[in-house]
């Protein structure tokens, strides 16, 4: 069953401007070290960060909270499987929220899809409850 759906659209140029104004302070406040390493290795650094920004926004919406109620940017993190598929992991308050919204006898899976077409980066997040075996 679907527990939550979230989407977000981020402007890559806007994210690039935030980096120019705030640099490492912004990077370290919002993105995990894994996300930073991945983004800094990419050809289009700003687009990679913008997709992760959008994914965090989308995840917070799928959790039903938005960025309030104690959720932290770093409580949501995007990484990639060896196949390149993006995956979202949650810790801290976001993990607590995920657990509280998952019915007994189910486990939650977070699905994430990312795309960009300059100047836009977009993310979709679906939280699914899967019946435990």
Burial class (CB in 10 A: 0-12, 13-18, 19+), 84: exposed
Cα–Cα distance for residue pair 85/113, rounded to 1 Å:
8
Neighbours of 107 (CB within 10 A): 13
Helix (H, G, I), strand (E, B) or coil at 77: strand
Per the document, the length of the chain is 133
Distances (CA, A) of 126 to 5, 61, 85, 99, 123: 5, 10, 15, 15, 10
**pLDDT tens-digit series, residues 47-78:** 999 999 999 999 999 999 877 766 789 999 99
Mapped onto helix, strand or coil, the DSSP state of residue 69 is coil
| C-alpha separations of 15 from 18, 30, 45, 62, 108 in Å | 5, 12, 10, 22, 30
SS3 23: helix
Ordered domains of the chain (ranges, CATH): 2-131 (3.90.470.20)
Per-residue pLDDT of the chain (133 residues; tens, 9 = 90+): 999 999 999 999 999 999 999 989 999 999 999 999 999 999 999 999 999 999 999 999 999 987 776 678 999 999 999 999 999 999 999 999 999 999 999 999 999 999 999 999 999 999 999 999 9
Buried b (16+ CB within 10 A) or exposed e, 9-44: ebbbeebbebeeeeeeebbeebbbeebbebbeeeee
Q: What is the pTM of this model?
A: 0.94
């Amino acid at each position: 069953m679907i527990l939550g759906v979230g989407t977000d659209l981020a402007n890559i140029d806007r994210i690039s401007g935030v980096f120019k104004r705030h640099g490492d302070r912004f990077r370290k406040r919002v993105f995990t070290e894994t996300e930073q390493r991945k983004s800094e290795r990419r050809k289009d650094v700003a687009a990679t960060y913008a997709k992760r920004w959008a994914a965090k926004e989308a995840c917070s919406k799928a959790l039903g909270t938005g960025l309030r109620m104690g959720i932290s940017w770093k409580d949501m993190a995007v990484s990639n499987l060896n196949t390149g598929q993006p995956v979202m992991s949650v810790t801290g308050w976001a993990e607590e929220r995920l657990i509280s919204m998952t019915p007994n006898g189910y486990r939650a899976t977070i699905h994430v899809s990312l795309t960009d077409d300059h100047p836009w980066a977009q993310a979709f997040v679906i939280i699914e409850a899967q019946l435990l075996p």
